[in-house]
Amino acid sequence: MFLMKNSVFVQKIYSFLLDTYRWYLQTPERSLNQAYDAALKIKEIENKHFNGNKIDVDLAMYSNSVMDYFESDLNKLLKTAKMRLTEFRSSRWFLNEEDQEAAQKTGIEYLSPALVLEKLNFIDQVISKYTTSPDQITSKDLVVKPQSLPVNSVISDDNSLVVNTPILPPKIPTQDSYIKPKSKLKADTTGILPRSILSTITRLQVELDPNAEKEVIQNFRQTQRRTIISIRFILLLIIVPLLTHQIAKAFLVGPFVERFRNNEEMQIFLNSEMEEEALVNLQRYEEKLKFENFIKNAPALLPERIEIEMKNKAVEIAEEFRKESSNAIKNVFADIFSVCAFIWLLVVSKSSIAVLKDFFDHIVYGLSDSAKAFIIILFTDIFVGFHSPHGWEVLLEGVSRHWGLPANRDFIFLFIATFPVILDTIFKYWIFRYLNRISPSAVATYRNMNE
């Protein structure tokens, strides 16, 4: 009986190992098929909704919500296709001739080389239209204004797609090229005609261009989409951590902390400051009882009556500080969940971060020199100004109370003595190193306002 059970167990292990080995041998073909299916879905969306063209906001008359839906599906399908192609290449690199012979012995039939090449060619043709830059389609279309790529696609008789190589447009200068121009000689910057006349001629050429209206509309649409995505992402950065903190505190951390601290023997106060505050409150209550008794000209309170009132007040104060201690412990773990949610949101929203950066660049560089100087002075006075130590002290004490930690005065004073100085140095270096090169007039205005 024991031998029979042993043999059955060995057979199950052998069957499991065989199935695992077969799954390993089928990995290249399975990965290729999954990448091919993702490319087919992308091509289906292009043919059905974009007349066979690239999925782009400039090539279709859809609302922002519909385009967000298409771009979300596109990003998922592109990610699947790229991951499966990577898995296909890695698995083929690990497989050798012995593994292929073993696969044939186990009954696994691989695709023919011609069919594999055809599928790979089709996948590359589909995803190459969306891999012209390292960013995703949303950030690429919003941060830089691209031109549509001329792609000639032909469907052959055997339903195989043949796409000619797209001709890339000339590189469009971005804002960084204006921020960091190449150094030129003084003779090179001086022309025959004044710059104002040349700029006027250029403006007239743009206004007389028959495609100027179309370009203005496209620029407005891109600016509108950039603004909507940026504001929505900023709201997500604020709302998601706050909601995560409240939900984690109420449903995840709260029940465990309450169950753990429900015992009467648990320590009421987390630190000595809470205990001193409770004693001060109890002492004030006793003095309040005596004061009210004096001003009412009532008979003197008996010691027993005072003791009963003090005992009731002590129980009330203890319960209040027990809740405050539990709340501080909940805040520690809830803040960890909030930070994790914030980091996760930053990791999965790289395209939105690129759009947000471009949004802030347009806002900052669109301000006047006086507005830039005003904002710089406002921030420097708040964080590193004469009255900033009081603000830092209140902030650090609030954070300590939020987490139930004692406010270490030595640490607070050391922080105030060093951190604002470091921030002030960074501000001055940024003004000297970058702002002085980007906008010298803003620096001059800042110095005049500071004086």
Indicate left, alpha or beta for 159 from its phi (over 0: left) and psi (-120 to 50: alpha).
left
| Dmax (CA) of the chain | 111
Give the least confident one: 81-90, 159-168, 208-217: 159-168
The mean pLDDT of 186-193, rounded to a whole number, is 48
- What pLDDT digit, counting tens, does each position of 114-128 carry? 888 888 888 888 888
94, two tokens:
């690990």
Neighbouring-strand partners of residue 161: 155
CB-based contacts of 41, cutoff 8 Å, min separation 6? 73, 77
Percent pLDDT > 90 in the chain is 10
The mean pLDDT of 268-281, rounded to a whole number, is 85
Percent pLDDT > 70 in the chain is 73
CA atoms 225, 228, 231, 236: torsion sign: negative
Neighbouring-strand partners of residue 162: 154
Is pLDDT at 243 greater than 60 in this prediction? yes
pLDDT band at 383 (very low <50, low <70, confident <90, very high): confident
The per-residue pLDDT for 157 is 44
Cα 131 from chain centroid (whole Å): 22
The per-residue pLDDT for 294 is 79
Give the least confident one: 154-168, 206-220, 227-241, 260-274: 154-168
pLDDT band at 390 (very low <50, low <70, confident <90, very high): confident
Distance (Å, rounded) from C-alpha 90 to C-alpha 77?
20
The mean pLDDT of 427-440, rounded to a whole number, is 84
Q: Is 404 exposed, middle or buried (0-12, 13-18, 19+ CB in 10 A)?
A: buried
- What pLDDT digit, counting tens, does each position of 198-225 carry? 677 777 776 677 777 777 788 888 888 8
The per-residue pLDDT for 263 is 63
Is pLDDT at 362 greater than 60 in this prediction? yes
The per-residue pLDDT for 108 is 64
pLDDT band at 335 (very low <50, low <70, confident <90, very high): very high
Is pLDDT at 273 greater than 60 in this prediction? yes
The mean pLDDT of 162-172, rounded to a whole number, is 40
pLDDT band at 183 (very low <50, low <70, confident <90, very high): very low
